[in-house]
Amino acid sequence: MDAKAEKKPKSTKKSAEAVVEPKAKKSAVAVLDPIQELSDNYRWREILPPLVDEARSISALRADLADVPVLTNDGKVTNVYHKLESESLVQRQDRMSVWRCLALVREAYLQLESSADEGVKGYQWNMNWKHTRAEVDQVYEACKILNLSSDETRDAIIASIFSDSIKNRGNFIVHNVHGSQAAALALSYFWDTTKEEYLQSVQRIVLAIKQHQIAPPEFMARTVAVLLARKLKLGTFEQVIRSSASDEREGTTNKYLVRSIYNKIGHPFDERYLTPDLARVQFTDEERGLLSQIGIDDWWVPHPKINSSKIAHALITGDHSINYNNPDGFAKIALIRGPATEAFFEDATIYDSLESAMASFSDSFNILLPEVRPLALHGIRRTHKAVTRVMRMMTELFSGVVEGPRESAKNIKGRELVAQALDRARRKNPEIFAAELSYTSDAGHKYQDRSLERVGCLLEEWQETFGEIPFSIREVNSNEPGPGRLPFWNSPLKYPKRNEQGQIIIDSLTPYEQKQFAFAQRIREIAVELLRAEQWFFSNAPE
C-alpha cells in the first residue's frame, strides 16, 4: 500500500491552532493533521529528510544487506534482502515499504556518522545501523512464529527499523518516544496517511516503538532509578533501593518513590501496576512529577492479554535476539561497555562485559511470549558456542606463547601471532572448531579471513606505535606461568578518575596504566571483530 508519489513534509503553520485545551486539542489535531502530532511537529526532519534518489539509496542498501548473513528454513546461509524477497511471505508492496524505510535510516546513520565527534565515532554506523539491519531478520522470524499477516509483519519490521533510529548517547531513556516520532515523519513521505488504513498502520507502528522500551525490564527499571537518584541527589542506586521506608533521613520520600517506580517498570506485565486498559504503567502523581524531571511522560506496555500487542512483541523478540542471543549482539554489548564508555559501564574485564549480555538475556527472556522463547533459546546456545571459540582463540593470542626461537619472539608480527593462536586453539580444542558443527557459506569464510586479517593489522599497528603488549609487571614472588596478567583480559582494568562533568582524567593513571587502558580498547576491538565473524556460522550441532 505504498503511495505512488513521495509526499513532501508538511508545513508547520497549523501548529498554532493546536494550542487549545487538552481534549479539544487532541481532536482538532487529529482532524487537521495526525502526522504532525505523532511526529511532534516533524521534529526529526533534519536527521531523516526524504530520500533524494530512492533508486540509488535502495541499491546501496541492497549491497549493504549482502553483509547480513541469515539462515533460511532449509539451512542455507543467505542474506536478509534475498530471504525476504524469495520467501514472499510479505507482499511485494509491503517489502518495498520495508526497503524504503531501511534505506532512509541508513542514509541518516551515514550522515550522523560522518558528522560525529571523534569520541562517538562508530556509535551510529557501527553499532546502531548494524544492529538495525540485523534485527530485520529476527523480527521477521518472530512474526512467522506469531502468525502475523503481511501488513502486520511489515509494520513490526518498520517499527523495529525506527525504534533506535534517533538513539544517541544522551536520550537513551526517551529514545523510544523520539523513534516513534521519526517513524511517523518518515512514513508520511511514502504513505498517503489521509487514508484510514495507512494512518492506522502508522499509529500501531508508533505505539509498538513506544512499547519496546519495556525490555529488558530490570535493566530499564535500574537505568531509570539511577538517573532519578542522580538527578535528585539521592546517592547510589544501591543506597536508594536498599533504604527502607522507616529511614527518616532527608529525601526519604523521594527514595520511596524511586523504589516504587523501579518496581513498577521492572514488572511491566503485573496488572497491579497498570492502568485498567493494561496499556501503560499507572504512576501516581508524585511519581509522575519525578519522572518528568528526566523527561519521561509515560511507560507504554504491550500486555500479552491485548492481542494487538503482537506487533510490539515481534519487535521486542527481534531486538532481544539481536542483542542477547547471537554473536553480533554480544559484540555490540562489548562495544558499549568497558574502557572509554560511560561510568556505569566500567567492567573489570571483557568477560564481565559478555556476562552482562547473558544477564540481560534472562532479564529480557522473562517477558518474551511463550511462543517465541524457543527461538531465543536456540540463539543463546549458538552464541555460547561462538563466544567459547572467540575466547579460546584470544586466550592463545594473549598467552604470551610464541612458536619458534625465543629470541625472535619480539619480532613476530601481529598477523603471524594471530595465525599461530588460531592454529593452537584448533589443535587443543578441535571439538569446538569442527566445520560440520556449523551451517556456513563461502561468503562467511571470506568474512572470517578478513576479520582475522583485521585483528592482525590491529596488533601490528599497536606494535608499531607502542611496542609490545603491556602485560602487568609480575610480582617478584609470582610463580604463575606466562608473561603476566593483562588488564581487561585476565585481571581487572584500572580506570582513570572522572571530573565533575563525568569526563575521564587520563593523567590520573600512570603512563604504563594509560598504555594498558589503551590496549584494553584493542582487546575489546579484537573480541568484537571475532564475534562479528561468528555471525556467519550458524549452529548445526544437536541440542
Are 326 and 379 in contact by the 8 Å Cβ rule? The answer is yes
Stretch that binds Fe ion, among 133-141, 162-170, 347-355, 362-370 (CB under 5 A): 162-170
- 374 CB-contact burial (10 Å; exposed 0-12 / middle 13-18 / buried 19+): exposed
From the CB of 123, what's the least distance to Fe ion, in Å? 14
Four-residue CA torsion sign, 112, 180, 283, 271: negative
Are 382 and 430 in contact by the 8 Å Cβ rule? The answer is no
**Is 51 or 156 the residue whose CB approaches Fe ion more closely?**
156
From the CB of 215, what's the least distance to Fe ion, in Å? 8
Amino acid identity of 531? Answer: L
Distance CA 108, CA 260 (A): 38
Number of residues that bind Fe ion (CB under 5 A): 2
List strand residue ranges (DSSP E) for 64-210, in order. 69-71, 77-79
Distance CA 429, CA 401 (A): 17
From the CB of 105, what's the least distance to Fe ion, in Å? 13
Are 204 and 155 in contact by the 8 Å Cβ rule? The answer is yes
Stretch that binds Fe ion, among 55-63, 157-165, 263-271, 354-362 (CB under 5 A): 157-165
From the CB of 75, what's the least distance to Fe ion, in Å? 31
Are 65 and 114 in contact by the 8 Å Cβ rule? The answer is no
Grid cell at residue 388:
567459547
**Is 316 or 493 the residue whose CB approaches Fe ion more closely?**
316
**Is 316 or 393 the residue whose CB approaches Fe ion more closely?**
316
Phi, psi of 79 (to 5 degrees): -115, 165
Stretch that binds Fe ion, among 78-86, 160-168, 355-363, 389-397 (CB under 5 A): 160-168
Are 227 and 294 in contact by the 8 Å Cβ rule? The answer is yes
Per rule CB under 5 A, is residue 513 in the interface with Fe ion? Answer: no
Are 352 and 333 in contact by the 8 Å Cβ rule? The answer is no
Q: Which residue is nearest to Fe ion (CB)?
A: 164
**Is 164 or 347 the residue whose CB approaches Fe ion more closely?**
164
From the CB of 111, what's the least distance to Fe ion, in Å? 20
Neighbours of 410 (CB within 10 A): 10
Distance CA 363, CA 67 (A): 30
From the CB of 115, what's the least distance to Fe ion, in Å? 22
**Is 163 or 353 the residue whose CB approaches Fe ion more closely?**
163
Stretch that binds Fe ion, among 7-15, 31-39, 159-167, 325-333 (CB under 5 A): 159-167
Grid cell at residue 64:
549493504
Stretch that binds Fe ion, among 120-128, 156-164, 364-372, 434-442 (CB under 5 A): 156-164
Rama region for 502: left / alpha / beta (φ>0; ψ in -120 to 50; rest) = left
**Of 37, 64, 135, 164, which lies in the binding site for Fe ion, with binding defined by CB under 5 A?**
164
From the CB of 317, what's the least distance to Fe ion, in Å? 13
Stretch that binds Fe ion, among 87-95, 131-139, 158-166, 192-200 (CB under 5 A): 158-166
**Is 318 or 327 the residue whose CB approaches Fe ion more closely?**
318
Distances (CA, A) of 84 to 97, 325, 427: 12, 21, 39
**Is 165 or 188 the residue whose CB approaches Fe ion more closely?**
165
Stretch that binds Fe ion, among 126-134, 163-171, 273-281, 321-329 (CB under 5 A): 163-171
**Is 240 or 333 the residue whose CB approaches Fe ion more closely?**
333
**Is 65 or 208 the residue whose CB approaches Fe ion more closely?**
208
From the CB of 164, what's the least distance to Fe ion, in Å? 4
From the CB of 176, what's the least distance to Fe ion, in Å? 6
Distance CA 139, CA 213 (A): 16
Are 380 and 324 in contact by the 8 Å Cβ rule? The answer is yes
The contact set with Fe ion (CB under 5 A) reads 163-164
